[in-house]
Structure 1
Amino acid sequence: MNRREAVQKITFLMGGMLSAPVMAGILGEKLNAGPSLQITAEQEALLAEVADVIIPTTSTPGAKAAGAEQFIIRVLRDCYPLADQEKFYTSLTQLNTDSKGTFGKSFTELDAAQKNQLVKQLTTKDTAFFRRLKELTVTGYFTSEIGATQALEYLPVPGRFEACIPYKPGQKAWALG
């Protein structure tokens, strides 16, 4: 079983908690046959910073180090219609506008506390955007090499099956290999 099959089976076991476009993105499929937005370097950098607020660097690398923004850009381009892409990037631009209005600087120039404050406000101000961003960030992170091997416990060749093994204090969750 390859990684895509494993992720697909886990998603079905979890009750299909990932949206269809994100699942298609994980599987490398392309649902959007129509036009797509061209993303600027500034938008990509902004997206990387916001994703890094959702999964920051701690004892393991964060979303930015894992390149979660590349996953988000690809899935939006390949799996979402143009109208959804426009809505997503309009909300992302609005976050940067709010940053400039509140702090006088773009989001990428803020310190961690200011970024956290704006993202926290986003959870109630634009819930739909935040949920989509969080879903894409978390999925992109945990399907990346960094997320699967450093943030999760990774065993590339599993040993024998043991149905019930208690976690040790501080042990990471398991990744699928």
Structure 2
Amino acid sequence: MNRRDALQHVAILLGGVISAPVMAGVMGEKTYTGESLKVTLDQESLLAEVADIIIPTTNTPGAKAAGVEKFIVRVVRDCYTKEEQKAFYEGLSKLDADSKTKFGKGFVDLDVTQKNEMVKQTTVDNKPFFLKMKELTVTGYFTSEIGATKALEYLPIPGRFEGCVPLKPGQKAWAL
């Protein structure tokens, strides 16, 4: 099985289909060759914080530990048109502005409860941004080394194929 097939299977396992730009980004392709928006360190830091609310550190490392923000920046830059990039980063800016309005400080400076509240609010107020952010975060996490080896069960050299194997209580799903 090649990497593309494996990622498609992971997408199905995760309950959806990976969009074409994200799939191209996972494969390391560059589908947009025009001028891209410049991403500031503050925006990158904000992406890391939002991603870490979507996939927090629990008994496995979270999205921030996996460096998901770097994946998001690269995929948005290389695979989204300038208009799509602008819409995505405007959604990110809106989340930060809404945090300042509601709590008097930016998203990065909020406590975890407040961050969760703001992300939950974003799922309603700015659903297109949230869905794109979630897709990029989940894909970036589960295709990272940390996601594939710490959050999923991973066998670098798989044994024979057994299509139906019962999982033990608490056992992780398998990385493909």
TM range (shorter): over 0.9
CA distance in 2, matches of 1:171, 1:3: 24
Indicate the residue corresponding to 1:87 in structure 2: 87
Identical residues among aligned pairs (%): 65
Residues 1-80 of structure 1: matches in 2 within 5 Å?
1-8=1-8, 11=11, 17-80=17-80
Q: Is the aligned partner of 1:113 residue 2:88?
A: no
CA distance in 1, matches of 2:131, 2:125: 12
Describe the SS at the equivalent of 2:65: helix
Output the TM-score relative to the length of structure 2.
0.94
How far is the alpha carbon of 1:33 from its aligned partner? 1.1
CA distance in 1, matches of 2:13, 2:44: 33
CA distance in 2, matches of 1:127, 1:86: 16
Indicate the residue corresponding to 1:150 in structure 2: 150
* Stretches of structure 2 lacking an aligned partner (at least 5 in a row): none
Contact 2:141 2:147 in 1 (8 A): yes
Aligned residues: 176
* Stretches of structure 1 lacking an aligned partner (at least 5 in a row): none
CA distance in 1, matches of 2:3, 2:115: 33
Residues 129-168 of structure 1: matches in 2 within 5 Å?
129-168=129-168
How far is the alpha carbon of 1:11 from its aligned partner? 4.9
C-alpha RMSD of the superposition: 1.8
Q: Is the aligned partner of 1:123 residue 2:123?
A: yes
Detail structure 1 runs of 4+ shifted over 2 Å in the superposition.
1-6, 8-16
CA distance in 1, matches of 2:14, 2:109: 38
Indicate the residue corresponding to 2:98 in structure 1: 98
Name the stretch that deviates more: 2-11 or 75-84: 2-11
How far is the alpha carbon of 1:162 from its aligned partner? 1.4
Distance 1:14 1:98, change over 3 A: closer
CA distance in 2, matches of 1:8, 1:31: 19
Contact 2:107 2:115 in 1 (8 A): yes
Distance 1:4 1:87, change over 3 A: same
How far is the alpha carbon of 1:8 from its aligned partner? 4.3
Distance 1:79 1:102, change over 3 A: same
